[in-house]
Each structure stands twice: as structure tokens, then as C-alpha cells.
A and B are shown apart, each in its own frame.
Chain A
Amino acid sequence: MTEYLGLSMLLFTIGAAGVLVRRNAIVVFMCVELMLNAANLALVSFSRRHGELDGQLAAFFVMVVAAAEVVVGLAIIVSIYRTRRSTSVDDASLLKA
């Protein structure tokens, strides 16, 4: 049981680190997906721990939301790429002091 959660933590942390380190918006986005998946793994594990299916259902909802998010997020990336010819998140840094 603990090992599943440990793996989940590990994947989540790696995903978060990826978000911080990578500059390509698409890769950043993939890292976010990795974090979501890690959370899903935790949810499924909790479901097994408690013998209830609610956790699995929560994971299912996360997937649905992730799908919607990916659709919109990628559309945003594409439209930014169209205007700026770049997918680097560092390029969109005009909002500063």
C-alpha cells in the first residue's frame, strides 16, 4: 500500500520539477499531466485501501477534467505559437516590474 503512494509521490515530484525546469510549453504541459496521473494513482490506491469505489470514480473525473484541460491548453499553446512563433514559457514574461 505505502509503496503505491510512495511511487505516486515520486511521480508527482518529478512532474513538478519538470514544470519548473522545462521551458517548452508542451513539455511543461506533459509534466502537468504526469502530476495528474500521479494523483490518480494515489486515488486508486486509496480506493483499494478503503474498499470503496469512490476513489476510482474520482480518478475517472480527474481524467475527464484533464481531457478538457488538454484541449483548451493545447489550443492556447497553438494560438500563442501562431502569434509569437515560439512555445517557450519564458518568452511570455512582459508582465513584470
Chain B
Amino acid sequence: MTAFWVLAPFMVLAALGLVLARKAVHAALCLAVVMISLAVLYAAQGAPFLFAVQIVVYTGAIMMLFLFVLMLVGVESAESLAESIPGQRIGAVVVALVFGALGVVGVAQSVTGAVVGVDAANEGGNVEGLAALMFGPYVLAFEATAALLITAVLGAMVLAHRERLGRRLTQREVAEGRLQDYAHHGTHPGQLPTPGVFARHNAVDTPALLPDGSVVETSVPAPLRARDQVRPGDRSEVDAVARELEPGEDPR
């Protein structure tokens, strides 16, 4: 019971955090807290196998998927908390309170009698007991879940697949296109220099310098430029370093 009373408040707080957090990443972290706590509760209730599965499947796989998708659609997408449907929030709170109160009362009403405990059932080992059930009476359901998983994988592939709208360009066409761009718009035809080339640092926030000493802003990743986190780069700094390394020799 100790584990329950220690964990339960955390879980409720984390669950509320999930609902109230402004940023989706924070919500995901709160959910992870709830899930790990749940795993502990499973263990405390004589379900070691589920403990492991909860950790591996939920916090390991599912949470990772959530975070992966969050990264994909943009971590920054913090939603505004202003409610757009009139009455929705108040209605939700009221209904939730009623439902929760009813549920708790109902559970307290209905569950009577002594707790048997699973020690007897776990006599031959929890995993072996579950396996006997799973491959015994529940083998059909188990097979069905296999089919379900395959279907889900296929479904995800179909949904994530992006149809190619045009023909794949050949290497020659790509090269010609680049030179056409150079001819008409003056776009640099070659590879852009990576950040830090000839610069004082080779960190990603340091713009590259061309051999003539000019600064190439575009070598810094766009997100950093957008956040104005580009380290100012200057030819003079390079010269200063060069002088430190080889004093008395002016490169110019």
C-alpha cells in the first residue's frame, strides 16, 4: 500500500499536468510519469509481467512514437488555451466531475468482499500462468491481435506513403536546372559551405567564410537564423587567430 499512496498523488498530478500543459512535449513527459508509476503499481499488485510490458511497450515504444510525431509536426506548436467552442470547457469540467463522483461512488458501492490476491495464481510463476492462459483459452484472441498488428502496420504504411506526383528527375536534369538557376538568378550552383568553414569556430551557429573572407549567412541552419542565434563571424577574427599562430607573418 505504501507504493500506492506514494505514487497515487504523483500520478494524479501528472495526469492533470497532461491535461493542462500548454506544450505538447510537457504533456508527453507527464504521460510518461503516469505510465511508469502505473508499471510500479502493476508490480505492486502481483503482475511483474505487465510491469515489464508496460515499461517496454508503453514508455518504450508508444511514448517514443508520440515524441517522434511531435518532433515531426513541430515541437514549437504550443496551442492557445483560449476555448473556441462556447461552453465546452465548463461542460467538460462539470460532466467530468459528475462522472468521476458517480464512478467513485459506484466503485465503492459495488466492490465488496475480501481480496483474494494473486499469490496463489502466481504459484508457478506469473509469466508461466499468463502464458498458459494466453495459449490456452485465449489463443484465438492472441491470433486475432497478431492479425490486428499486421493490419495496423500496413495501415500506417499506406497512410504515411506519399504519392510521387511527377517523374523522378535525372541527374543531368538536376545539374542543368542548377546552372539555369545560376544563369538567371545567380544562385550558387555548387554545394553550400558547411558552417564553420574558415571561420573561427566550426560550431553550427558560426557562419562559414569564403576564401575571400566574406561571410556566408546561408551556411547556418535556417532555424538558428530564424531565432537570431547566429554567432557573428568576421574575417578579422580569423586574421587575429592566424596572427596568434604565426606571429609576424601577415597573410595579406
Contacts and interface: CB of A to CB of B under 8 A. Distances in A.
A and B touch in the complex (CB under 8 A): yes
Interface of A: 1-7, 9-18, 20-24, 26-27, 29-31, 33-34, 37, 40-41, 44-45, 47-54, 56-57, 59-61, 63-72, 74-79, 81-82, 87-88, 90
A13 B148 contact: no
A14 B93 contact: no
B160 A79 contact: yes
A17 B93 contact: yes
Contact of A44 (B42, B91, B116): B42
B99 A16 contact: yes
B117 A51 contact: yes
Looking at B57, B62, B155, which has the most chain A CB atoms within 10 Å of its CB? B62
A53 B65 contact: no
Nearest to B27: A27
Interface string B3-18: 0100010011001101
Given A31-B18, A63-B53, A53 B70 contact: no
Contacts of A34: 15, 18, 31, 34
Given A15-B15, A41-B41, 19 more contacts: A4-B41, A5-B111, A7-B11, A9-B100, A9-B107, A13-B99, A14-B16, A26-B73, A27-B18, A40-B54, A44-B47, A51-B120, A54-B133, A57-B138, A65-B145, A68-B151, A78-B69, A78-B73, A87-B73
Contacts, number: 219
Size class of the B contact interface (CB-based, 8 Å): 35 or more
Given A6-B104, A49-B115, A78-B69, A67 B19 contact: no
A13 B70 contact: no
B188 interface: no
Contacts of B115: 1, 48-49
Contact of B19 (A17, A23, A45): A17
B203 to A, nearest CB: 31
A11 B31 CA distance: 11
A57 B121 CA distance: 13
